[in-house]
Structure 1
Amino acid sequence: MSALRILHLTDTHLFGDDSRHYGVVNTASQLAAALAHVSDLAVDLVVVSGDVSEDGTIESYQRVRQLVGDWAEAHGGRAVFAMGNHDRREAFRAVLGGGQPGTEERLPVGDDPARPVVSVTQHDGWRVVVLDTSVPTRGYGNLEPEQLEFLRETLAEPAEHGTVIVMHHAPIDAQTDLLQALALDPADGDALVRLIRGSDVRVVLSGHYHHPVVETIEGIPVVVAPGVANIARALDDPAEESAELAFGGAVVEIRGSRTRVVPFVERIEPASEVFHLGREAVAEIIAAVGRPAR
């Protein structure tokens, strides 16, 4: 029986300098704490499913490549990264390539550095696909037809043990109004679900929502890991948005026909709030930057 163990992290929001997220959070320290929290774990993959960087600088990607890459190697695995809405494609690919170091991108870039960052590789009989749901300068997500076609062609032949998909915006609804306005395009999410139906996809790993969610679609778990930079409050008034100073992640283990997800969230003491947006502020943000009506 083949098994795969993944440390799933997301939304690291690293800077290339000593800047702080929301003026409060030292995201490099948050990432170091998240990795230290699971220091006894042996893994096959360490996945960072988007918003790897906050400022989109070369230096930020170099920092995360060293922190995550070195930890993964020391624990028996390799690192995988995906683009998020805060990432910048040109700097991302300059340091992290197609998101899987040593693996070529699968959509031709040509002379356009703004092309989506997409890759696929095999790991001990497991196939790992990285998709790019980011929309430059926007917070919501899309999957262009060429990415969906690439996925269709890739999944046409099953991998030995199965496929893992990594993408920032999850193909499931958000818990809050703001995050739903910044979610994956519903039509693109439906198209993805049709593609993975009956395929060898074993799990979809996502981020963006900053709190843990596991939802099954077509018998396949979609795992949204909690954020490394902060943890959003998922069950408060959905018309508001707030987050606390904490970090989290998830350990995903696929063994035979079973998929086990163990999320973890650790609060920083003394407890503090990173931000709180009331109904009016959320409504203004949605009107300004939310997905336009079709």
Structure 2
Amino acid sequence: MSALRILHLSDTHFSGDGGRHYGVVDTAEHLRRALSHVGHLTFDLVVVSGDVSQDGSEESYRQVRDAVTPWARARGARAVFAMGNHDQRGAFRAVLGSGQPDADEQQPPGVDLDRPVVSLVAQDGWRIVVLDTSVPGAGYGHLESEQLSFLKEILAEPAAHGTVVIVHHPPLPAQTALLQALALDEHDGRELLDIVRGTDVRVILSGHYHLPITEIVAGVPVTVAPGVTNLARAFADPAEESAIDGFGGSVVTIDGDHVRIVPFVERLTPDDVVFHYDADVVAQIIQDAGRAN
């Protein structure tokens, strides 16, 4: 079986005007440092699993594409992008197509600019599936039945080496109250995991939580990449929300029956907090932006 090595990045949060994220983070510099951290390695795929943009502008997508794609090609890889809750489908498609612009993308029938950004590429015995959990105007995630049916139909026939699924909102519970309010719909997450159970899916790559998590569910590793733009605090008060100035990613290697996930996180300044929301602020954000009960 052919091995597959993936650089898994997520949550680059670029703005078209080059503005700093939360007024603090130089997102271009964070991405440069994340790529440089593993620049001595070769890869087959470089994945950015959503929230590619912060402002949803075409210019922001061009900036990320122009940073990631040449870097990937120089190391034998192609770039793959997924939609996140901050991304805008029209601008995403205008620059990045359906998320796998360096390959012949296959899409389910009837897709238009307002529909979820979904793609399938079969290459060298591997199958790469990009799904779209974004809900326009919302922070939480949803997988509509058409996408789930599309995935189920695809997986009915195994690929030679296996399938990688990329989706921004993880089908896993979050560490904090705020991120749980902005998580993937619980029913959708269960259905996704039920669909991949017993199939050739080797790993599910996701983001959104800005911290490294890997959990084995139904025999399939579900892995969350740490954020490129900042690193969420995993073990602070779960009623609060905060992030530090740093970057991260993961190197995922699939070789035979082994799936190895090695995350990396680097703090830029030990005491530099990007943001901190106390419990009252978190409760208000949940009321304003969380999924209605």
Shorter-chain TM-score category? Answer: over 0.9
Matched residue, 2:287: 287
* Unmatched runs of 5 consecutive residues or more in structure 1: none
SS in 1 for 2:193: helix
Matched residue, 1:10: 10
Tell me how far apart the structure 2 counterparts of residues 94 and 241 of structure 1 sit (CA, whole Å).
Answer: 34
Aligned length: 292
Tell me how far apart the structure 1 counterparts of residues 131 and 203 of structure 2 sit (CA, whole Å).
Answer: 14
Tell me how far apart the structure 2 counterparts of residues 72 and 180 of structure 1 sit (CA, whole Å).
Answer: 33
How far the C-alpha of 1:27 sits from its partner, in A, is 0.4
- Using the size of structure 2 for normalisation, the TM-score is 0.98
Matched residue, 2:229: 229
Tell me how far apart the structure 2 counterparts of residues 150 and 179 of structure 1 sit (CA, whole Å).
Answer: 27
Tell me how far apart the structure 2 counterparts of residues 50 and 229 of structure 1 sit (CA, whole Å).
Answer: 12
How far the C-alpha of 1:270 sits from its partner, in A, is 5.4
Tell me how far apart the structure 1 counterparts of residues 18 and 143 of structure 2 sit (CA, whole Å).
Answer: 33
Tell me how far apart the structure 2 counterparts of residues 68 and 105 of structure 1 sit (CA, whole Å).
Answer: 22
1:33 aligns with 2:36: no
1:126 aligned partner, one-letter code: W
Please tell me the root mean square deviation across aligned C-alpha atoms, in Å.
Answer: 1.0
- Where in structure 2 are the equivalents of 1:152-231 lying within 5 Å? 152-231=152-231
Deviations 1:166-194 (A, max 9, x none): 00000000000000000000000011011
Matched residue, 1:19: 19
SS in 1 for 2:265: strand
SS in 1 for 2:221: strand
Tell me how far apart the structure 2 counterparts of residues 93 and 107 of structure 1 sit (CA, whole Å).
Answer: 15
The answer to whether the 8 A contact 1:105-1:117 is kept is no
The answer to whether the 8 A contact 2:177-2:238 is kept is yes
Question: Identity percentage over the alignment?
Answer: 63
Tell me how far apart the structure 1 counterparts of residues 129 and 43 of structure 2 sit (CA, whole Å).
Answer: 18
* Unmatched runs of 5 consecutive residues or more in structure 2: none
Deviations 1:17-53 (A, max 9, x none): 2211001111011101100111101000000000000
- Where in structure 2 are the equivalents of 1:1-294 lying within 5 Å? 1-101=1-101, 102-104=103-105, 106-108=107-109, 112-269=112-269, 271-293=271-293
2:287 aligned partner, one-letter code: A
Tell me how far apart the structure 1 counterparts of residues 238 and 284 of structure 2 sit (CA, whole Å).
Answer: 15
- Using the size of structure 1 for normalisation, the TM-score is 0.97
SS in 2 for 1:62: helix
Tell me how far apart the structure 2 counterparts of residues 75 and 269 of structure 1 sit (CA, whole Å).
Answer: 30
Tell me how far apart the structure 1 counterparts of residues 134 and 108 of structure 2 sit (CA, whole Å).
Answer: 15
